[in-house]
Amino acid sequence: MEAVFKMGASRIASAVNAGELSAKEVVTAYLERIAELNGKLNAYLHVNSTGARRAASSVDDLVVRGEKLSLAGVPVAVKDVISVRGLPITCGSRVLRGYVAPYDATVVNRLKRAGAIVLGTTNTDEFAMGSSTENSAYGASRNPWAEDRVPGGSSGGSAVAVSGGMATAALGTDTGGSVRLPACFTGLFGLKPSYGALSRYGLVSYANSLEQVGVFARSVDDLALVYSAMLGADPKDGTTTNFSWSIRDALSRGVEGLRLGVVVEMSGEGIHEAVSSALSTTCKELERNGVSVGEASIKHMGYSLEAYYLIAMSEASSNLARFDGVRYGEHPAFEGDWNEEYSRVRSLFGLEVKRRIILGAFALSAGYQEMYYGRASRFRTLLIHEFREAFKQFDVLIAPTSPTPPFRFGEKTQDPLTMYLSDVDTVPVNLAGLPALNVPVGTFTTDGTTLPLGVQLIAPYGRDDLLFTVASQLERSGLSSARVVEPWGRIV
Q: What is the mean pLDDT of the chain?
A: 95
pLDDT exceeds 70 at position 441 = yes
pLDDT at 75: 98
383 and 304 in contact (C-beta within 8 Å)?
Answer: yes
What is the helix (H) or strand (E) element at residue 381, kind and residue range? helix 375-390
Q: Which residue is catalytic, options 93, 131, 178, 267?
A: 178
In the residue annotation, 228 being an active-site residue is answered as: no
pLDDT at 264 over 80: yes
Tell me how far apart the alpha carbons of residues 311 and 363 are, in angstroms, rounded to a whole number: 9
CA distance 65 to 88: 33
* Domains of the chain by residue range: 4-254+435-491
Q: Please indicate, yes or no, whether the overall pTM of this predicted structure exceeds 0.95.
A: yes
Report the topology of domain 4-254+435-491: Amidase signature (AS) enzymes (3.90.1300)
Report percent pLDDT > 90 for the chain.
91
CA distance 287 to 293: 7
pLDDT in tens, 175-194: 999 999 999 999 999 999 99
Digit-coded pLDDT (tens) for 121-146 = 999 999 999 999 999 999 999 999 99
Catalytic residue among 24, 79, 192, 412: 79
d(CA 220, CA 214): 14
Distance, in Å, from the CA atom of 484 to the CA atom of 492, rounded to the nearest integer, reads: 6
Q: Please calculate the CA angle 429-165-424 and round it to the nearest 5 degrees.
A: 20
Check 154, 158, 219, 422 and give the catalytic one. 154
Task: Pinpoint the alpha helices (H) of 187-243.
Answer: 220-230
Q: Whole-angstrom distance between the N-terminal and C-terminal Cα of the chain?
A: 15
Whether residue 154 lies in the annotated active site: yes
